Amino acid sequence: MVPVRGRHRATDLRSNGFVALAAGMILPLLAIGGVYGGYQVMSTSGCSGTVRLAVAASPEIAPVIKDAAARWIKTEPRVDNECVAVDVTAVGSAEVAAAVAGEGGATVPGLGQADGKTQVPQIWIPDSSMWLQRMRAAREDLVPLAAPSLARSPIVLAVPEPTAKALGWIETKVTWKQVLEQIVGDTRIQPGIVDPNRDSVGVSTLVAMASVRDQFGPSGDSLTVGAVKSLMAGKSEQQTGLVGRFPRDADPKTLSTAVTLAPLSEQALHTYNAAGPAVPLIAVYPDPAPIALDFPFAAMPRLSPNRAAAAEQFRAVLSGAPFRDVLAQHQLRANDGSVGTGMTLSPSAPVGGQVTPVPDAAVISKALQMWVEITQPSRMLAVIDVSATMKTPVPSAGGLTKEQVAVQAAQGGLDLFPDSWAVGLWAFSTGMPGGLDYQQLVPIGPLTSQRDQLRGAIGGLKPNPKGGSGLYDTILAAYQTVQQGWDPGRGNSVVVVTGGRNNDPVGLSLDELVAALKKAENKDQPVQIIIIGVGSEVNQAEMQKVVDATGGAVFVAPDPSKIGEIFTKALALDDGR
């Protein structure tokens, strides 16, 4: 890495010929290596030493930081008569986060291990303050409590121009609910996203989607689950991989197979269009605005006093009208959202105004957990009640029985399962064939080969008019079955749909079931039990004791006509408490 320096001793560089030769070698290496830095020879007098600042900046803003550092060094800054040297390296935020976490012995969920190459800097400028929130959640002293933003780049939905015209999205604001509806229901939309675990734009998108889920209740649940599954199908590990899948031609065949909607930063979209693609991208600004990239200046904890003082001097340089204009040259806004000279926005782009605040770590964690829970391949055994209680009519469902509304909900849930899942089906009631309280209808297996078989078996479920509920024996048997075939690459779960309480006089009691589950539990091979209660006869407190023994959730729909909403919520694995 080649530093930018203030005054320093140059006794080894007295030969002008050597300086010329060194410059001729160093500059090409900088270009090849992609390291943002510079080198200046200054006066040899007046410095008692050097205070060196290693700056790791997100690639989007690294050229701006390099330029600012070079201009600042020309003013010959000092700290206690020591000259300042600044080394600026462009490095991805995920790589620095992993290095910081690794050095501190902490783990950031979903991030993975450090690459062993990235060094922990004295100053870190990631693309988003959300990285700092995630780091603080892992261990609160890994990063500073205060890290002011230097710049801003809103998150937009990048849509190829032909698709945007077809959707009527040119220079039009759309709501997130409209966006999710299009992702789920419009074949013209082929969405893509960069893995949110390692990408701030992806996290911002998930947080915005979660707000739809919270705002619109059951319909929001369904839309969010469907949209996340669609985004997962178009996931890329890096932004370069994602933008490489935008259409290179406007013909219908190309558009039908290319990515036609993806969240990007405003800067990334401008950069893409600046290259003159055959099919330019339109920036769609969804309402409400997602959390923008904000490039916080994080002077890392435990710096020496002189380094901390030099860092604060450098931070003060990164503001004001001249800095804003340099940001604009790189298609970045100032930290308040305003635009400097030379940056042109689309007519629908907001200028300045309200900035969506960065949420706390719990909100970010919840959004990322939603991604994991919905997209993780699952191995599920669905267990559905066919006892006499399920023949009870449901007035609010047009006279359908509990069984019929449960079947409708299960069929709808089956349509949400991706092909990567493995699913099996049991029915339970006393008096089942073989003398057990349950019957296997479809063994646990891949949906790629047995989706139709499951759909037919669910559709054939009918209540046994004389059957009681052997609920507790069934739960234990189902748990043990899933446990025996436990798959480390999947989430392993039992989903029980029940219309009443256990009433098998010769079966397990509640206490016996709980004790048996605790004895069977293997914390290294977790199996969740998710119980969906249909109607007011289900005792939620009893069911909570069951899931507390192993982990899981209870969802009860006192009005059985609402089970479809509850079923969708359960599939997203909300904690339900």
- For 185-234, the pLDDT digits (tens) are 888 999 999 999 999 999 999 999 888 877 776 667 778 888 888 888 88
Calpha distance 509→472 (Å, rounded): 7
Assess whether pLDDT exceeds 80 at residue 561: no
- Check whether 408 has a pLDDT greater than 90: no
Q: Which residues contact 25 (CB under 8 A, 6 or more apart)?
A: none
Parent domain of 97 = 4-152+295-344
6 has a pLDDT exceeding 60: no
Q: Sorting pLDDT into bands at 50, 70 and 90, what band is 566?
A: low
Q: Is residue 359 part of a domain?
A: no
Residue 228 CA to residue 193 CA, distance in Å, equals: 10
- According to DSSP, residue 335 is labeled T
Judging by DSSP bridges, how do beta strands 491-498 and 378-385 pair with one another? Answer: parallel
Is 136 a domain residue?
yes
Q: Are residues 139 and 220 in the same domain?
A: no
**Which residues are CB-neighbours of 49 under 8 A, at least 6 positions away?**
81, 82, 83
537 lies in the same domain as 423:
yes
Residue 514 is predicted with a pLDDT of 96
pLDDT at 15: 33
pLDDT at residue 437 greater than cutoff 70: yes
- Residue with the two structure tokens 């000259």: 83
Is residue 366 included in any domain, yes or no?
no
The verdict on 384 and 515 lying in the same domain is yes
Residue labelled with tokens 């290294």: 524
- Domain end position, chosen among 263, 284, 305: 284
Mean pLDDT of 99-111: 93
Same domain, yes or no, for 396 and 305?
no
| pLDDT for 355 | 76
pLDDT tens sequence across 517-533: 999 999 899 999 999 98
Residue 521 domain flag: yes
Q: What is the pLDDT of residues 30-45, one digit of tens each?
A: 333 333 333 332 323 4
Residue 555's pLDDT is what? 84
Q: What is the pLDDT of residues 276-296, one digit of tens each?
A: 999 999 999 998 899 999 999
Looking at the structure, tell me whether residues 216 and 237 fall in a common domain. yes
**pLDDT grade, residue 12 (50/70/90)?**
very low
pLDDT at 24 over 50: no
pLDDT given at position 474: 96
Q: What is the DSSP letter of 461?
A: -
| 486 shares its domain with 526 | yes
Q: How far apart are CA 555 and CA 283, in angstroms?
A: 40
The C-alpha atoms of residue 201 and residue 325 are separated, in whole angstroms, by: 24
pLDDT at 66: 96
Predicted local distance difference test score (pLDDT) of residue 23: 32
Shared domain for 79 and 38, answered yes or no, is yes
- Structure confidence at residue 17 (pLDDT): 36
Domain boundary among 241, 260, 284: 284
How many domains in the chain?
Answer: 3
CATH label of the domain that carries residue 333: 3.40.190.10
Structural tokens at position 250: 């406007």
Question: Considering the domain boundaries, does residue 365 fall inside one?
Answer: no
Token pair, residue 479, equals 């748990």
> 137 and 44 in one domain?
yes
Domain membership of residue 368 (yes or no) is: no
Report if residue 450 sits inside a domain.
yes
What residues contact 518, with CB distance under 8 A and at least 6 apart? 549, 550
Give the pLDDT mean for 443-447: 94
Whether residues 178 and 132 fall in one domain: no
Alpha helices in 139-248 (DSSP H): 161-167, 176-185, 200-233, 239-243
| Region of 112 on the Ramachandran plot (φ > 0 left; ψ -120 to 50 alpha; else beta) | left
81 backbone φψ class: left, alpha, beta (φ>0; ψ -120 to 50): left
* CA atoms 97, 102, 106, 109: torsion sign: positive
Q: Render pLDDT for 231-273 as a digit per residue (tens, 0 to 9).
A: 888 889 899 999 999 999 988 888 888 999 999 999 999 999 9
Residues 273 and 310 reside in one and the same domain: no
For 253-257, the CB contacts below 8 A with 24+ separation are 255/160, 255/162, 255/163, 255/188, 256/190, 257/190
Is 141 within the bounds of a domain? yes
Comparing C-alpha atoms, which of 341, 376, 337 is closest to residue 151? 337
Distance CA 109, CA 386 (A): 41
Residue 150, pLDDT score: 97
**Rounded average pLDDT over 117-143:** 96
- One domain for residues 140 and 231: no
Are residue 161 and residue 33 in the same domain, yes or no?
A: no
Provide the pLDDT for residue 22: 31
CA–CA distance, 226 with 224 (Å, rounded to integer): 5
Q: Tell me the per-residue pLDDT of 147-183, one tens digit each, with 9 for 90 and over.
A: 999 999 999 999 999 999 999 998 788 999 999 999 9
Weakest-pLDDT range from 116-130, 184-198, 370-384: 370-384
Question: DSSP labels for 76-135?
Answer: --EETTEEEEEEEEE--HHHHHHHHHHHTT---TTT----SSPPP-SEEE-S-HHHHHHH
User: Please, which residues bridge with residue 382 across strands?
Assistant: 425, 495
